[in-house]
Structure 1
């Protein structure tokens, strides 16, 4: 019999894992160095590493298993829906970037920031590196799904379509039987290592004010996204948002849109009939890789703060406009993994804004402090964009594709 009730729910398990990890990490932070402490830490970092490897392995399979079959079900409408998805993801990202730029010019001149990131404890190396490389990168899986799905539609390839449908069922079993149970383990060990290092007690207060401002910006942007989506689609976006708690918490714990994908799919599926199932299967995995509005908003605000801190002035308005427009493009191609946005856009930070090695290192450090909240904004915003896709499909007479539909 399936277990029911709050104590067996995913949100409870995620919160419990987070609390246990924090308490254990803080306790170990106060311990003197010893063979016992080193042994415990070796186990923690190793478990975290293996869990992360497994989730990274599953992500490309999830992308292929959901996006490709969704494209074949939409038939001749697939190309149009893909174009709409890319457009709204880009508009959301640059909109968040420009909003953050305006807030930066308005708020940052009134703040005094004195960073100090020294004194962190070091984690031991992983003692057992069980490498589980994915069969392909996430971006390769994304392009594979799109090209194979579209080609199957154009060629009316019924055999390939049925094969993709079967593959989706297999991926669903992997997600529910393996990946979901592993997530609390990854979250618990992640927060345990952060607490032991001292990031939570030493690093976070340094930029606490900035992080709070950015988080407020995240919530305002999500409010705007869901408001626009509700008006456009004629459906209540709160019916989606109320189910996104587990996905938000998972994103906070994993700092990865890709690692949160399985939970986000579960949350979005609970929003039926507000969201169409076929567009959930298509939109949520796609937006997990191309829609990074929270990370973009954070990076834009932080580069302005670092520029003022290290170089004594903000970037010019012209540089910030160019940075925002290009950052939206880089965000579409950035991997949905911890720090993926800032890593993908390092060329912009150094080339457009002129940051040196010190500025780049500081940018990477402070971005990592809030990466979890930016990721949570990304993931939660995907529900709003999927609602826009639902509204677009309804307005243009694109019928819902059911599981097992043949070309």
Structure 2
């Protein structure tokens, strides 16, 4: 298979859409004539229809990825698997709560002001093509959990296979329809923001927020490896010193799956600090379910975007619910670019109440920073594998070749 170049990747397409959208918005803002208003009417209408389509797909994405993930884990339940799931979930929600605390502490001191002066009015949507969701997003979430658990408990092979096929269908919808529509939504959103005058005043804040999130990644990795070293009574530096290639590969590929072979090689160089059987078992598993960096990125960004667009931070109650559910969504996130934020669109709209503009902003800034979040995910897998090694040794689980659960 021919390797996909950067110019064909989603982040590049989003960057192009962002640049074209901002350029068009600034140009239309300077023209102010009948032609510019006609073009702007088209842009606003296309943005509305694209947002309606993506909103319609959200419940399908939730059911298609959460329910099959639960059935797979239920069918392969074992002590080490449950420990691994617990570690991945705790790390993910821990990163989310850390980002939430940091957001409430840091963001009020940044100059995030949605009420900027001199904003222009956008025209009304010319053609409103409403596409209602098949069910509310929270209904889709609870249906996914109940359906997945019930299928696993009853060992329902037909339903399990049907859910697996449905996941493949939804993944095709995501890759063939949703992802190609994303640049359109991003371009039209930033065109309207540039026309209004919002984007030129808020761009420096975006850059500062991205730097803060990257610092948060390194803090969380330090904490993970410190806990892993203290629990296993082994030196975590024996792992960290080998993980440079995996980190850089993740930055370049923006994919845990594409980085897996390099991550396995780096982890094997850490033996015997990490046991060989724990490398073979833990690293591939964590590459799919441990997304601490992506979760941290998304949590901090939703707080910043909420303040930027709606002039308020989400309430503490909403953020607690968001963080707890985000850990579940991360485990079942689809293997596509920006999979974490894609799977959790229902939380962003249903729990936090974001509209299409907020959703588009989240998708854009997440995609632009996703490579560093992925690098944090991959590097953090080594710490969890070290904890698994410590658990196995403390509980008398002798080295063995564990079967893959993937």
Structure 2 Cα separation of the partners of residues 339 and 122 of structure 1 = 29
Answer with 8-17 or 18-27: which moved more. 8-17
Between the aligned partners of 2:5 and 2:111, the Cα distance in structure 1 is 48
| TM alignment of 1:12-31, pairs within 5 A | 12-31=12-31
Structure-2 change in CA distance of 1:182 and 1:292 (3 Å): closer
1:88 aligns with 2:91: yes
Name 1:130's counterpart in structure 2. 129
CA distance in 2, matches of 1:182, 1:370: 14
Q: Once the 2 structures are TM-superposed, how far is the Cα of residue 269 of structure 1 from its aligned partner? A: 2.5
CA contact (8 A) 1:292 1:332 kept: no
Tell me, yes or no, if the aligned pair for 2:24 and 2:191 is still in contact at 8 Å.
yes
TM superposition score normalised by structure 2: 0.64
Looking at structure 2, the residues matched to 71 and 384 of structure 1 have their Cα atoms a distance apart, in angstroms, of 25
Tell me the alpha carbon deviations over residues 334-367 of structure 1, each in whole angstroms, 9 at most, x when there is no partner: 8945994997399xxxxxxxxxxxxxxxxx9xx9
What is aligned with 2:246?
A: 239
1:224 maps to what in 2?
Answer: 219
CA contact (8 A) 1:60 1:137 kept: yes
Separation of aligned partners in 2, 1:159 and 1:138: 25
Q: Is the 8 A contact 1:47 1:189 kept in 2?
A: yes
Q: Separation in 2 of the partners of 1:342 and 1:159?
A: 31
1:270 to 243, 252, 258: 258
Residue 150 (1) aligns with residue 149 (2) = yes
1:328 to 320, 323, 333: 320
Distance 2:359 2:151 in 1: 40
2:299 paired residue number: 293
RMSD of aligned residue pairs (Cα, Å): 4.7
Change (3 A) 1:139 1:70: same
- Distance, in Å, in 2 between the alignment partners of 1:80 and 1:152 is 22
Q: Distance in 1 between matches of 2:44 and 2:103?
A: 35
Asked if the contact 2:151/2:159 (under 8 Å) is kept, the reply is yes
Alpha carbons 1:65, 1:168 under 8 Å: kept? yes
Shift in alpha-carbon separation, 1:13–1:299, aligned structure 2, 3 A = closer
Per the TM alignment, residue 142 of structure 1 is displaced from its structure 2 partner at its CA by: 2.8
Match of 2:62 in 1: 63
Structure 2 counterpart SS, 1:344: coil
Shift of 1:120: 0.8
| SS of the residue 1:135 aligns to | coil
Question: For residues 163 and 150 of structure 2, what CA distance do their matches in structure 1 show?
Answer: 13
Q: So what's the TM-score if we normalise by structure 1?
A: 0.64
Could you tell me how far 1:194 is from its partner in structure 2? Answer: 1.0
Structure 1 unaligned blocks of 5 or more: 248-266, 308-319, 347-363, 403-407
* Structure 1 contact 290–333 (Cα < 8 Å) conserved: no
Shift of 1:382: 7.0
2:349 and 2:359 in contact (8 A); partners too: no
Structure 2 matches for 1:343-354, cutoff 5 A? 344=352
Q: Secondary structure at the match of 1:118?
A: coil
Contact 2:71/2:148 (8 A) holds in 1? yes
In the alignment, is the contact (CA less than 8 A) between 1:65 and 1:167 conserved in 2? yes
Matched position secondary structure for 2:191: helix
C-alpha distance 148-337 of structure 1, shift in aligned 2 (>3 A) = closer
Residue pairs, 1:5-404, within 5 angstroms = 5-34=5-34, 36-74=35-73, 75=75, 76-77=77-78, 84-100=87-103, 103=106, 108=109, 117-201=116-200, 203-204=201-202, 208=204, 213-228=208-223, 232=228, 234=239, 236=243, 239=246, 242-243=249-250, 267-273=255-261, 274=263, 292-295=298-301, 298=304, 327-332=319-324, 336-337=344-345, 340=348, 344=352, 373=365, 381=373, 384=376, 391=384, 395=389, 399-402=403-406
